[in-house]
């Protein structure tokens, strides 16, 4: 179990570095990991068997889509010059008006 957690954390770290995932996405991924590890579920596997895994798969799918949309929105902001690659506002400066005295 510990090896699995380390592998998941390494995968999350690599994804954050490679795809520039914002910290909100990291929090969502850790929350989803916590939900999967936590023994109490909305739909328990002990009662419904394989159908009990549906809520776990749903949580993973929702977090994956949300993180993908966050990353896509951030990339659009960087490409548009609204924020810099480091996430700071005002990356692109306006050219100075030379007609002013």
* Phi, psi torsion values for 83, nearest 5 degrees: -125, 160
Series of mean pLDDT values for 10-residue runs along the chain (101 residues) = 82 79 84 83 77 84 92 85 73 56 52
| pLDDT value of residue 61 | 92
CA distances from 13 to 3, 8, 56, 80 (A): 15, 9, 22, 26
> What 3-state class would DSSP assign to 89?
strand
Q: Which long-range contacts (CB under 8 A, 24 or more apart) does 7-10 make?
A: 8/33
pLDDT score of 100: 57
Look at residue 36 in the predicted model and tell me its pLDDT: 83
**What pTM value is reported for the model?**
0.65
């Amino acid at each position: 179990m510990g090896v699995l957690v380390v592998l998941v954390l390494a995968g999350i770290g690599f994804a954050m570095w490679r795809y520039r995932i914002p910290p909100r996405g990291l929090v969502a991924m850790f929350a989803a990991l916590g939900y999967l590890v936590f023994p109490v579920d909305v739909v328990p596997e002990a009662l419904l068997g394989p159908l009990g895994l549906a809520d776990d798969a749903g949580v993973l799918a929702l977090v994956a889509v949300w993180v993908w949309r966050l990353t896509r929105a951030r990339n659009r902001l960087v490409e548009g010059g609204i924020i810099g690659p480091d996430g700071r506002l005002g990356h692109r400066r306006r050219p100075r008006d030379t007609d002013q005295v």
